[in-house]
Structure 1
Amino acid sequence: MKKALARLLGLSRPDADAGISPRARARLLDMTFGRLVFSVNAIPFVGMPFVIWLYVQKLDGGALLAWTLGYGAAAVWMQLRFRRYKQEREDDDALVRRWLPFVQRVALVHGFCLSLAAVLTASLGGFDFKLLLYISIAAIVAANATHQTPILGVFQRFFVACWTLQIVNTPRSFPEHWPFVLPLALLYALAIYRHALIANQFFRQQVRMEDDGIRLAERYRLAKEEAEKALQAKNLFLTTASHDLRQPVHAMGFLIEAIARRNRDPALIPPLDDLRRSVRSVHLMFNSLLDLSRIEGGIASPRNTAVAFAPLVEEVASLFREEARSRGLDLRVRLPAGAAAVLANPALLRQSLVNLVHNALRYTKRGGVLVSARRRGSHWLLEVWDTGVGIAIEEKGRVYSPFYRNEHAWRIDSAGHGLGLAVVARCATLMGATYGLDSVERRGSRFWLRFPEAKPLAPAAIEPVYEPEGLSASTLLQGVCLVVEDDPLVTAAWTSLMEAWGVQAACAASGQEALALVDAGLQPQAILCDQRLRSGESGFEVLKALFERCPDASGAMVSGEFDSEALQQAEREGYLVLHKPLEPSQLHALLFQWLCAA
């Protein structure tokens, strides 16, 4: 019996539930204390109309006036205490231990003092006055049952102190009607208390959900931080190791081209072509992987400028025409006349088009690929059409995700890694462009990029694609090329390819060796220099020193790095920077210009 009474009065502190965190208990105390302050502040506004009523009826309302003014002073005192309470929010557990007993005491006193209004006016006024006062007190109790029950013990003290005195005072206030009013007051007490229990469960469930949400958010934050650390570690590894990873791929491309130039067996032509395509696929996949890592790592911070897209599209198409021809596909370009331009980043736009065209050719067995551009209002739509396998409706939302490839793609070409379209999506996002696709399964797809139109460039500012007349992969070259490269495997590949093209190649592993060759009488027309040399020298400084000795020579930096400060400085100063793995056709065209000019 004692335990039941203690629980009813809130003395057992059922609200200090071990399943609720200190933060949640403090949150419940916030709501309860705030509602208690509001309840005390409202009482003077409730009491004044009744005081005026008594004075209008020429009855003694002095006691009720004193009660109302006392509540006014209590309201000011509660505001000050509540302000002090808000200032003590450093430790939730200590806050609850310090302030919960105070709030419970205030609730008990508030309940008792609220019911005093009926006691003080029990012999005053008529039935309608007393009934309206009872109804007003009941409404205040109901409001507190809804909003003051986050901590049930606080409401229990308020309710028991208030409504017990109301019930005891009922026969005195309603001497003729108490047999009817008293049962109603008891039923009202049961209903209100049940409502208070339900409201308390709601508040407790709410704070538990808030706790669960905070825990989930913290777990998500920790998981996100771990994922970001793993991503940064992966990107750092790829960025740091990119030079060493590119070296063998670079050498393979050169060696295959050298073997193909020396081959006299017709039976070896098809497998060599397949080998070329495989290495080209590795080039593109490798570039996509590193580009994706650089983009995700925040290394790529592009600036959009006016880009004449016609020369860029033609350049990309020229890279894939031989591959399209070998697959029996038709690669066409349809561009508008004039110097149209879009607002984009040239490098990211080129990479996006390369990936889209490569993707289209890879998954097209018959027909062809069309690269086109169309004006749409103040924007340009760059499109890549194909007659390939197409994409099912349910898969369209996933094709731009890294490492995703559909079932048809795996059957057609198992060598891909699902990175090409992911890089396109990242590049488009960085440029502020929109992207998308339309596709019909087994009939083809249309991938598009939408860019704002830029002011047309002057004709002189548009660099034409250099296509020397009569130049082909079989064109022999003449001249001397000095290559500064410290990797023996790559050096052998350089030498083999240069000799296959008819070029005399002189290789040096360091700047000191290269300068010694020049001092010994070597007069190169072309100089190609790697940036990272094992001797610790800067390739850029070596290249400048060689140009001072050979002022008539042409040359470029060739490196597997992208973010080297030395390479960026070289580009700022107007030097040509080539990146490994270097396409043999690109190198052949470059040497054709340099050696013929020499």
Structure 2
Amino acid sequence: MPSIKSDSASRYGVASAKKRVLDLEDNRTQSQDIHQRVRYTLLHVYSKYEPVLLFGYLLFVFVIVQITWHTTELRTTLIFWLVLNIIIVAHALWLGLKFKKQAHLHSPERWVRMRIYSSLAFGLLWGMGPALFMNLSDMVNLVTFSVLILGVLSSSAYFLSIIPPLFYLFFVPVLLCYCAIVFWEGMYIIAAATMLFLAFLAWMSHQIHRMMFAVYAARYENELLAESLCHEKEQVEKASRAKTRFLAAASHDLRQPLQAQRLFAEAIKARSHNTALNQLGSQLIESQHAMQLMLDELLDISRLDAGIVAPNLSAVSLYAIFIRLHADFTPLAESRGLRFHLHWPPNDAVVHCDPGLLDRILLNLLNNAIRYTLTGSVMLAARQRGQRWRIEVRDSGIGIPINQQQDIFEEFRQLDNAARDRSRGLGLGLSIVQRLCQLLAYPLSLTSCPENGSVFAIEIPIWTGPVASDEKTSPNFTALAGLTALAIDDDQAIREALKASLQTFGVIVHTAANRDEAIQILKYHLPDVMIVDYRLSGFDNGLDVIESLRGSNHEIPAILLTGDTAPEKLVELGKTKCTVLHKPISLNNLLQAILESIPL
């Protein structure tokens, strides 16, 4: 065993070393690529301004010819000197044009080498030519020559600094020749000043080139970084879309059998007067509760991802919400051996919120508190703070370390649940709470300490306007007796479950697996309502089937059932005029939807 461990460690060490070497090589290659791009860019910049420089040089040449034409005896040599300058300028212009058209034909180093000879020739011609044709012992000629040489050099120093070899091959011969001339004439101080001027120009050229190189290198490094970030972002978005598609597909596939189970269980409970069967039906429904909560969490996340959750703010009785939560969670807490306390708001406490979204926030917070509290109690409290109500969910549970208090709001993140106990959900509840609070602009806070429990708190604005009556009547499902329903679903179990559950309330149910079967039924029976699954076999979907079955003469009410939770599907379904119910639905919700869809 020791030898095996040693062998594994050795292999791991070798692999790590290889990875480091590969990373270094990648970085070196990337750096070389950037430097190459910078060199090409500097050549492009130089080529852009080169014609101006060259025509400026030609102007200087013609000035020299004009000054010396009537005084020199070497007119043939002067003409030859002029022609050489013109040829060199033409050659340089040709190289510049070729570079612009075929820049990547050669490396930057090769392009520079191709310009070296013309720069050196320019330097020698400029440095030696005027000395041959001008009488520099005449102070006027010397001053004229000095002004022309030093003026042109100073004005072109910046542009030639872009390519240092070209700078040195031009400036050094010119200034050395000029220095030799003034030294020969006995102007030693001017000769020394010329050498200092050359040194200063060389230093300035170096600084300019280094600055430009650094600027372009930083620019290309930033571009590579931006490309890398865009690529990483695309990968993250791609992974997120894949996750969403997977969850949507998994959710749909899970909802199908659950829907049939739920309706069969409720049909058993509704039809049987046998105590044992009633208890069995209740247990079947109870066993689905945890799965229902998890699927609802997936649906909530998909709705938030799709951006179709729009708050419908109104005046809501906070006291009535506390009554419902007390009724829902007291039995659940007692079944786990916990005490559920409430710090009640006044009877007339009214808040400005979306009741459905507020219910979802408090349901998730209370479920989370009960899941992670092994002993002790859970409290739901309401306290007024100025123009807001502060609602707190307190527990005596395991608590949350400070360094993990932000992590718990991430999707699928659960602390102390390495075994993935399904009774603790999917780890989406607190993420949904945070996103809903952000949507509603409710401040959300967390105070927690390990082994001392947690306090989650939200703050909701007080409603200051008039309050409408909140009286609600219980639905009268007996009014459904004698109605005819057409149920269309390609899943036989769901068709049978819909038929069995609706028949319990006296509804006459016809079932069809697809559009063609539904068309045949409509020839003999006109239903009062259609209950249609969204995803049917083949390429059919429920919306298309509803439109084709309604025809031009009949506006049959329709209820669309779906197990799809993909964000793009939710957006599409949100635009339909049909009532949309998400599987698995309870029988009560289905009956309520039928009551609201048809005129009685």
With over 3 angstroms needed to count, the CA separation of the structure-2 counterparts of 1:385 and 1:209, relative to structure 1, is same
1:491 aligns with 2:495: yes
| Alignment-derived partner of residue 285 in structure 1 | 297
CA distance in 1, matches of 2:444, 2:128: 70
CA distance in 2, matches of 1:506, 1:515: 15
1:161 aligns with 2:173: yes
| Alignment-derived partner of residue 307 in structure 2 | 300
Does structure 2 conserve the Cα–Cα contact (< 8 Å) formed by 1:330 and 1:369?
A: yes
Q: In structure 2, what residue type is equivalent to 1:580?
A: K
Q: In structure 2, what residue type is equivalent to 1:161?
A: P
Q: In structure 1, what residue type is equivalent to 2:474?
A: P
Indicate the larger mover: 100-109 or 26-35.
Answer: 100-109
**How far did 1:508 drift?**
1.1
2:230 to 192, 208, 221: 221
Does structure 2 conserve the Cα–Cα contact (< 8 Å) formed by 1:369 and 1:385?
A: yes
CA distance in 1, matches of 2:51, 2:147: 21
**How far did 1:494 drift?**
3.4
Does structure 2 conserve the Cα–Cα contact (< 8 Å) formed by 1:352 and 1:424?
A: yes
Per-residue CA deviation, residues 239-260 of structure 1 (Å, 9 max, x unaligned), is 6786555322323433455567
Per-residue CA deviation, residues 400-425 of structure 1 (Å, 9 max, x unaligned), is 33333334797887743333444455
Does structure 2 conserve the Cα–Cα contact (< 8 Å) formed by 1:20 and 1:208?
A: yes
Q: In structure 2, what residue type is equivalent to 1:468?
A: S
Does structure 2 conserve the Cα–Cα contact (< 8 Å) formed by 1:529 and 1:543?
A: no
**How far did 1:26 drift?**
3.2
**How far did 1:326 drift?**
1.0
1:328-343 alignment runs, 5 A limit:
328=334, 329-330=340-341, 334=345, 337=348, 341=352
SS of 1:445's partner is strand
Indicate the larger mover: 220-229 or 513-522.
Answer: 513-522
Indicate the larger mover: 256-265 or 161-170.
Answer: 256-265
1:254-333 alignment runs, 5 A limit:
254-257=263-266, 264=276, 275-291=287-303, 295=305, 299-301=306-308, 307-308=313-314, 310=316, 318=324, 321-323=327-329, 325-328=331-334, 329-330=340-341
| Alignment-derived partner of residue 47 in structure 1 | none
Q: In structure 2, what residue type is equivalent to 1:370?
A: L
With over 3 angstroms needed to count, the CA separation of the structure-2 counterparts of 1:290 and 1:200, relative to structure 1, is same
CA distance in 2, matches of 1:527, 1:446: 44
With over 3 angstroms needed to count, the CA separation of the structure-2 counterparts of 1:250 and 1:405, relative to structure 1, is same
RMSD over aligned CA atoms reads 6.2
2:408 to 394, 399, 410: 399
CA distance in 2, matches of 1:332, 1:544: 53
CA distance in 2, matches of 1:112, 1:517: 103
Does structure 2 conserve the Cα–Cα contact (< 8 Å) formed by 1:108 and 1:161?
A: no
**How far did 1:212 drift?**
3.7
| Alignment-derived partner of residue 43 in structure 2 | 29
**How far did 1:530 drift?**
3.5
With over 3 angstroms needed to count, the CA separation of the structure-2 counterparts of 1:432 and 1:591, relative to structure 1, is closer
Q: In structure 1, what residue type is equivalent to 2:446?
A: D
Q: In structure 2, what residue type is equivalent to 1:444?
A: S
| Alignment-derived partner of residue 104 in structure 2 | 93
Per-residue CA deviation, residues 172-192 of structure 1 (Å, 9 max, x unaligned), is 4664657xx64x865775676
SS of 1:290's partner is helix
| Alignment-derived partner of residue 50 in structure 1 | none
CA distance in 2, matches of 1:317, 1:137: 92
How many residues are aligned here? Answer: 509
**How far did 1:490 drift?**
1.8
Per-residue CA deviation, residues 91-117 of structure 1 (Å, 9 max, x unaligned), is 753697889967995798589869999
1:578 aligns with 2:587: no
| Alignment-derived partner of residue 474 in structure 2 | 468
Does structure 2 conserve the Cα–Cα contact (< 8 Å) formed by 1:317 and 1:333?
A: no
| Alignment-derived partner of residue 438 in structure 1 | 446
SS of 1:468's partner is coil
CA distance in 2, matches of 1:124, 1:454: 97
1:36-115 alignment runs, 5 A limit:
93=104, 109=122
TM-score (norm 2): 0.60
CA distance in 1, matches of 2:50, 2:367: 70
Per-residue CA deviation, residues 338-365 of structure 1 (Å, 9 max, x unaligned), is 87546x8x88777666655544554455
Once the two structures are aligned, what percentage of the paired residues are identical?
18
1:370 to 366, 380, 399: 380
Q: In structure 1, what residue type is equivalent to 2:38?
A: A
Unpaired segments of 5 or more residues in structure 1?
1-16, 44-77
Does structure 1 conserve the Cα–Cα contact (< 8 Å) formed by 2:352 and 2:463?
A: yes
CA distance in 2, matches of 1:519, 1:564: 33
Indicate the larger mover: 191-200 or 108-117.
Answer: 108-117
CA distance in 2, matches of 1:335, 1:159: 91
CA distance in 2, matches of 1:266, 1:340: 40
Does structure 2 conserve the Cα–Cα contact (< 8 Å) formed by 1:484 and 1:508?
A: yes
**How far did 1:484 drift?**
0.6
1:446-595 alignment runs, 5 A limit:
446=456, 448=458, 464=470, 466=472, 468=474, 479=481, 482=485, 484-486=487-489, 487-495=491-499, 497=501, 506-509=509-512, 528-534=531-537, 536=540, 538=544, 540-541=546-547, 556-561=559-564, 563=569, 571=577, 576-584=579-587, 586-587=589-590
**How far did 1:559 drift?**
3.1
CA distance in 2, matches of 1:112, 1:357: 91
Does structure 1 conserve the Cα–Cα contact (< 8 Å) formed by 2:161 and 2:208?
A: yes
| Alignment-derived partner of residue 10 in structure 1 | none
SS of 2:331's partner is helix
Unpaired segments of 5 or more residues in structure 2?
1-30, 58-88, 335-339
SS of 1:29's partner is helix
Does structure 1 conserve the Cα–Cα contact (< 8 Å) formed by 2:486 and 2:511?
A: yes
SS of 1:284's partner is helix
CA distance in 1, matches of 2:39, 2:506: 82
